Amino acid sequence: MTFHKLFAASLSCALMSSAALAADYTIGFSQVGSEGDWRPAFSKNMQDEAGKYGVDLKFANAQGKQEEQLRAVRAFIAQGVDAIIIAPVVVTGWEDVLEEAKDAEIPVFLVDRDVDVDDKSLYVTRISADFNLEGKLAGAWLAAESLGNCKIVEMQGTTGSAPAIERKSGFEAVIDQFPAMEIVATQSGDFTTEGGKKVMEAFIKSTNNLDGICAAFAHNDNMQLGAIQAMKEAGLKPGKDVLMVSVDYVPAIVDAMKAGDANASVELRSAVAEFIYPVITDYLESPKDLDKWIVIPSDLHKAE
Ligand code: AHR
């Protein structure tokens, strides 16, 4: 082969591989923030896996602020991305920006959390776990462990967020079936370790060292990990004096379960890019009506 032919062959090879590497779609992702252990793991999975699905992901971390999310979504619309993914901080306040995306003919996909809008045509689908079911799984486990007799303290997630609303309602739907099960104190710890610690410190004071309390239900593991710290500092034995059940099943709660400080956690999968990207890229290839909710399964894990 002459030098010219060799050069031409390697040039076309280089062009082919750069074409193969080029992303097929540019997608904007407005993420809630980086609270707790679960969310950063979810963000990393979405960022790490994007290339595999031909996606150039524009990632925007809203640091827990809805105004930041609205700004990011409007910036994605202005850039003319192919699709927008939103994990909404709270359920309300989305109509206007979703209308703007619709006017710009940019499809919106909800992941993880839900929005409360009357017009469901404003987004294509929500791809997420069933938070209500997670609350029910936690409640059913506790009903079985306590034989339906339990005074409970509850640490709620971010006020107005879908997981806080839905986990609470699922949990209550189960415990309401048992006359001797009751939530005696409830407060938001905003899904953070520090928030959970502060809330548990307040519960310890208001209940005279958790006197008569049989369980702590936290809407996520990080709040439960903060609660465990607070209880230990007060000389209490989490996982023994009080049953500890939460949601996420992050590595730190698995360690706490092994150490006997926590009893059960409902798994919220963080490696969910494999469920999300194919739905979006298939839709972009041939748009069609999808079910409004594509559910990712959740399971409860108990300490051995
Ligand atoms: O929306 C899911 C919840 O958000 C997770 O359970 C929690 O850890 C996160 O902050």
Atom of ligand 1 nearest to the CA of 191: 10
| 114 Cβ closer than 6 Å to some ligand 1 atom | no
Is residue 117 located within the same domain as residue 170? no
pLDDT of residue 29: 98
> Whose structure tokens read 């524009």?
58
Is residue 263 located within the same domain as residue 137? yes
- Cα 168 to averaged position of ligand 1 atoms, centre (Å): 13
Is residue 162 located within the same domain as residue 39? no
CATH of the domain at 87: 3.40.50.2300
Is residue 79 located within the same domain as residue 183? no
**What residue numbers bound the domain in which 245 lies?**
131-267
pLDDT of residue 60: 98
Is residue 64 located within the same domain as residue 138? no
| Total number of domains constituting the chain | 2
* pLDDT tens by residue, 57-93: 999 999 999 999 999 999 999 999 999 999 999 999 9
Low-confidence ranges of the chain (pLDDT < 70): 1-22
Q: Which of 30, 34, 248 to mutate to test the pocket of ligand 1 (most atoms within 8 A of CB)?
A: 248
* 142 domain residue, yes or no: yes
pLDDT of residue 23: 80
Is residue 66 located within the same domain as residue 184? no
- Cα 191 to averaged position of ligand 1 atoms, centre (Å): 7
| 247 Cβ closer than 6 Å to some ligand 1 atom | yes
**3-state SS string for the chain:** CCHHHHHHHHHHHHHHHHHHHCCCEEEEEEECCCCCCHHHHHHHHHHHHHHHHCEEEEEEECCCCHHHHHHHHHHHHHHCCCEEEECCCCCCCCHHHHHHHHHCCCCEEEECCCCCCCCHHHCCEEEEECHHHHHHHHHHHHHHHHCCEEEEEEEECCCCCHHHHHHHHHHHHHHCCCCEEEEEEEEECCCCHHHHHHHHHHHHHHCCCCCCCCEEEECCHHHHHHHHHHHHHCCCCECCCEEEEEEECCHHHHHHHHCCCCCEEEECCCCCHHHHHHHHHHHHHCCCCCCCEEEECCCEEECC
Q: Which of 220, 224, 225 to mutate to test the pocket of ligand 1 (most atoms within 8 A of CB)?
A: 220
* 137 domain residue, yes or no: yes
| 39 Cβ closer than 6 Å to some ligand 1 atom | yes
